[in-house]
Amino acid sequence: MTITSNIAQLRYLAQVARAGSISAAARACHVSQPTVSNAVADLEKHVGGRLFKRTTRGVEPTPLCNELLRHVDIVLSAVEDLDHEIEGMRNPRKKLLRVAFSPALDSKVLMALGATFAAARGGVEVIYKECTTDDLRARVYKGQVDVVVAPRIVGEGDWARRTLYRDRIRFVPTGGVVERPGVAVTLADVARHKLLLTQPICGLNQTTRSWFEQAGIPVDEYLGKAMSYSSLLEWALQGLGACLLPESKLPEPGRFPLLVDDREPVTIAFDAMWSREMTFAAHVRDFVGYLAKPAARLFAQNDGMWMPDAGPGARTGHPRRSSVAAQGSRS
């Protein structure tokens, strides 16, 4: 047996890591729980070590598993691309719109936009792919994706772009203890804590660092880096340090103070981006044109700002962009 001899096993492994539970992974993959458990056990025998450790909430990847997942994700992504290419050969009339996005994005926003376009255009299937920032760039240059959606700092300077929406930033203090509930914080307040960051794979790490650099505020970074937003939040609550997270990534955003600059909320802007050198099919050109005013469609009354528990068209205020937000989101 080779590690790639059973693609299904690799899919189960990736799903367990994503879901944090073998039973949840089995449900997502539409197979029995023993099927997933046996697949993980077989892979553990092959690599010679434990891939998951049990926690009170389920399971979480071991360092060995995280290292393996880096390669598994590449394999599964290549298999998925191959499947799409074969489908295109078998059914040349089928119109695929390939949209890659950063994990920092609230995928519900993107999928609402894609579903609305597909319903209006007819005959278009939108294919979504979550990618790291390096993979996003590579796919654009290889022509493997039509449109990228990610934090503004991710894109290249010569790419065309449209702003989709903005997400306000909240501060999770060390230990999760908010000293002054309801009072916003500044970058200087945050810098009094050891700062926790994610791996530089989604754009949040780079954007956060840019805010402190542009403000000229030194920061004490924790040496370790989290792989997910849930881990970043958990680390902060456990007292390893403090973190900054978009509202959409917090289960209870109102519990934590807003990050402000000049008394205005700091935001992270999410742009739709594409290479000006790409030759688009007609339906892709239509989609790019459709992105001219996406925030007005998705957030009709809140100035393109993501809000907790509010779907498209929710009634909120019209916050002005802060100077830090404008600078920190620039690529």
Alpha helices in 91-228 (DSSP H): 107-121, 133-141, 187-190, 204-215
The residue assigned the tokens 């050109």 is: 285
Element (H, E) at 42: helix 33-47
Give the closest residue to 97 by CA, choosing from 105, 88, 89, 106: 88
pLDDT band at 265 (very low <50, low <70, confident <90, very high): very high
Angle, to 10 degrees, between the axis of helix 33-47 and the axis of helix 7-19? 100
What's the CATH code, domain 7-62?
Answer: 1.10.10.10
The DSSP code sequence of 209-223 is HHHHHHHT---EEEE
% pLDDT > 90, the chain: 32
Task: Take residue 284 and report the two structure tokens written for it.
Answer: 């892709």
Kindly list the distances between the CA atom of residue 297 and the CA atoms of 113, 141, 272, 287, in Å, as whole numbers in the listed order.
8, 29, 15, 14
Higher-confidence residue: 313 or 225? Answer: 225
Residue 221's beta-bridge partner residues?
A: 195
Instruction: Please check the confidence at residue 277 and state whether its pLDDT lies above 90.
Output: no
pLDDT, residue 92, reads 55
pLDDT, residue 125, reads 87
3-state secondary structure of 225: strand
3-state secondary structure of 185: strand
Q: How far apart are CA 21 and CA 54, in angstroms?
A: 9
3-state secondary structure of 156: coil
pLDDT band at 310 (very low <50, low <70, confident <90, very high): very low
Higher-confidence residue: 95 or 174? Answer: 174
Least confident of 34-38, 184-188, 316-320: 316-320
Could you tell me the pTM of the whole model? 0.68
Q: How far apart are CA 211 and CA 255, in angstroms?
A: 23
Task: Take residue 70 and report the two structure tokens written for it.
Answer: 């880096």
Instruction: Please check the confidence at residue 305 and state whether its pLDDT lies above 80.
Output: no
Instruction: Please check the confidence at residue 166 and state whether its pLDDT lies above 80.
Output: yes
Task: Take residue 47 and report the two structure tokens written for it.
Answer: 């690599």
pLDDT band at 218 (very low <50, low <70, confident <90, very high): very high
Q: How far apart are CA 323 and CA 209, in angstroms?
A: 15
Could you write out the three-class secondary structure of 66-81?
HHHHHHHHHHHHHHHH
Look up residue 182 and give its DSSP letter.
T
pLDDT, residue 174, reads 96
Residue-wise pLDDT for 121-141, tens only, equals 878 889 898 888 888 888 888
Q: How far apart are CA 85 and CA 99, in angstroms?
A: 15
pLDDT, residue 295, reads 60
pLDDT, residue 308, reads 55
Kindly list the distances between the CA atom of residue 170 and the CA atoms of 183, 212, 272, in Å, as whole numbers in the listed order.
11, 15, 23
User: Mean of the pLDDT values across residues 85-98?
Assistant: 66
| Residue 224 half-sphere exposure toward CB, CA atoms < 13 A | 11
The residue assigned the tokens 């937000």 is: 325
Please, are residues 311 and 327 in contact by the beta-carbon 8 Å criterion? Answer: no
Residue 150's beta-bridge partner residues?
A: 271
Q: Buried b vs exposed e over 143-162: b needs ≥16 C-beta within 10 Å?
A: ebbbbbbbbbbbbeeebbbb
Does domain 94-331 sit in CATH 3.40.190.290? yes
Backbone angles phi, psi at 265, to 5 degrees: -60, 135
The residue assigned the tokens 């790639």 is: 4
pLDDT band at 264 (very low <50, low <70, confident <90, very high): very high
The residue assigned the tokens 């449209």 is: 162
Give domain limits for the chain: 7-62, 94-331
